[in-house]
Amino acid sequence: MQTVERITDALDERYKIRPLIEKNVTKKLVPRTLGWAACFGGLSLLVFLIQVFSGALLLMYYKPDPARAWDSVTFIKSNVPMGWLIQRVHAVGANVMIVLVMMHMARVAYFKIYRKPRELHWVSGVILLILTTQMAFTGYLLPWTQLSFWGAKVGTEIPGAVPVVGESLVEWLRRGNVISGETLGFFYAMHVWILPGMISAFMVMHFMMIRRTGISRPL
Amino acid sequence: MTQDEPTGSQKPSRRGFVELCIGAMGATSAGAVAYPVVAFLGRPASVEGVTTIKVPVAELQEDQARYVDWQGQQIVILYTGRTPKVLSASCSHLGCLVAWDNVKHVFHCPCHGAVFDDQGRPVSGPVSKPLAAVPFQLSEGNVVIG
């Protein structure tokens, strides 16, 4: 404990971190009427971070190749120490994150928190919801199981209902006419780099806006 | 606890006890997360060195080299139509992996241009030693190494 104190002292002397910690953590005042339901946004962020770290671990063994994807996931589950746990955490975490995001939105909608001046909080939040579902959708194909394959097939058929451009949209999503190795590569790139990058950008915007307007205080 | 007891720094306080409990809970949670993560970074079960390798002679193609991992080193099984030959795939010069050229019938080292014949004997380049021969047995139509 004394070592922690001394490190904090040294950092405080140089960077004045004590007032920073007090203002943001230890002495931060939360509106008294704010209930537990106000935690869902923060919990969504927590689960997102769990997904990032468990995903980074899975990346060490996963191979985005139709011939080897399923084998590599099986290898993670049966040969890598604790691999079954990390893989399960990542798969279950996806569902948990969607549930938490939905609950966060339900609260914001019910208490009408989206009203002026917080309209753009809501808009960025809806974009984050869409990105989250796309993360789940692209990740679902990666283990290359029967469920993955047919899930991706049915899912990529949906934009086909769009008039005029529907069919080319489906082809663009699949990188061809059918779900193939090209689709897997595209979904993989989307899942591990492009979508997480977009989510991070919109999260930063979302949080900065909340900082500017302050949290909504219920009566 | 009596009222007249002085509140020295050694006396366990309620705050100190609560802090200890919170610290213990935090440490337990951190441990529960850290243990599987650190374990995951360990070596997977099947990457242990394989001690014995069995390759059916029928699977070997004439004039083709087959590279396999054996006890942490790369070895090459060469079948030139008579009997199989098993050699270390590491060049006897500085250890690069030699590549089989089935047109010129030689092993060629990509690093410094050493050339070995199909028996692993040096032909040209900066080498004087042959490719190390790996002992093997032929049993029931299999090449058994180790």
Give the total number of structural domains in chain B.
Answer: 1
Q: What is the pLDDT of residue A183?
A: 96
Contact B40 A80 (CB under 8 A): yes
CB of A50 within 8 Å of any CB in chain B? no
In the chain, the amino acid numbered B48 is: E
Q: What is the pLDDT of residue B1?
A: 47
Average pLDDT for residues A102-125, to the nearest whole number?
Answer: 94
B35 → chain A, closest CA residue: A82
Contact A81 B37 (CB under 8 A): no
Q: Is residue B79 part of a domain?
A: yes
Contact A82 B44 (CB under 8 A): no
Contact A61 B45 (CB under 8 A): no
Q: Is residue B36 part of a domain?
A: no
ipTM above threshold 0.85: no
- Name residues whose C-beta falls within 8 Å of residue A216's C-beta, 6 or more positions apart in sequence: A111, A113, A118
Range of the domain at B124: 53-145
Q: Is residue B23 part of a domain?
A: no
CB of A57 within 8 Å of any CB in chain B? yes
Is the confidence at residue A141, as pLDDT, over 60?
Answer: yes
CB of B62 closer than 8 Å to CB of B121? no
Q: Domains of chain A by range and CATH?
A: 40-213 (1.20.810.10)
Using 50, 70 and 90 to split pLDDT, how confident is the model at A219? Answer: low
Q: How far apart are alpha carbons A214 and A30 in whole angstroms?
A: 11
Q: Which residues pair with B70 in a beta bridge?
A: B73
CATH code, domain carrying B134: 2.102.10.10
In the chain, the amino acid numbered B87 is: L
Instruction: Tell me the pLDDT tens digit for each residue of B118-131.
Output: 889 999 999 999 99
- For residue B45, the chain A residues in CB contact (below 8 A) are 78-81
Q: What is the rounded average pLDDT for all residues in chain A?
A: 93
In this structure, of A39-53, A187-201, B71-85, B100-114, the range with the lowest mean pLDDT score is B71-85
To the nearest whole Å, the CA of A90 is away from the closest chain B CA by: 13
B20 → chain A, closest CA residue: A1
User: What sign has the CA pseudo-torsion B110, B111, B114, B120?
Assistant: negative
Phi and psi at A143, nearest 5°, equal -70, -10
Instruction: Tell me the pLDDT tens digit for each residue of A80-102.
Output: 999 999 999 999 999 999 999 99
- For residue A85, the chain B residues in CB contact (below 8 A) are 36
Q: What is the pLDDT of residue B56?
A: 85
